[in-house]
Amino acid sequence: MKKAFEYSKMCDADVCVGIRLRETGQVHILTADDSGFWAFIASQLVCYKLLTMARSSAGQSKAYSVAKSLRQKRDRRKISLEKKSHEYSNKCGADVCLGIRIRESGKVFIFFADTSGFWSFLGPHLGAYYPTPVQRTEKNL
């Protein structure tokens, strides 16, 4: 969860991590989402624990080489978050969904480590969103 919050701050992104424990059925949602883009998830679930983390304001734009470096770092961190989500799912018996929206470009990335299909309602909900969300599963790692 800490890594998702750090990613949100560093990359000026809205991040949402949803975790459903298979054993108990408890759902926990972490959002670092100033824009409210991921708010619909809470409305879709009846019982959940919502954790909201505030972000500090983003800095000013940087030179191209610095921006390229930051973009590469953002991509590496995104992959790291996906791997951590997959690892958490396997070790803790949980269905995990990681959603990232990059504010600058509006791109949406969704990662599912979800064997039960609990988070499947996200796909149709974001189907009309432009640009089309990039969806990955644990099979794509």
Under 8 Å between Cβ of 99 and 122: yes
Domain spans in the chain, listed from the N-terminal domain onward: 2-140
pLDDT at 123: 83
Please, which pLDDT band fits residue 112 given cuts at 50, 70 and 90? very high
Tokens, residue 71: 């973009």
Predicted TM-score of the model (pTM): 0.80
pLDDT digits (tens, 9 = 90+) for 51-107: 555 444 444 444 557 778 878 888 999 999 999 999 999 999 999 999 999 998 999
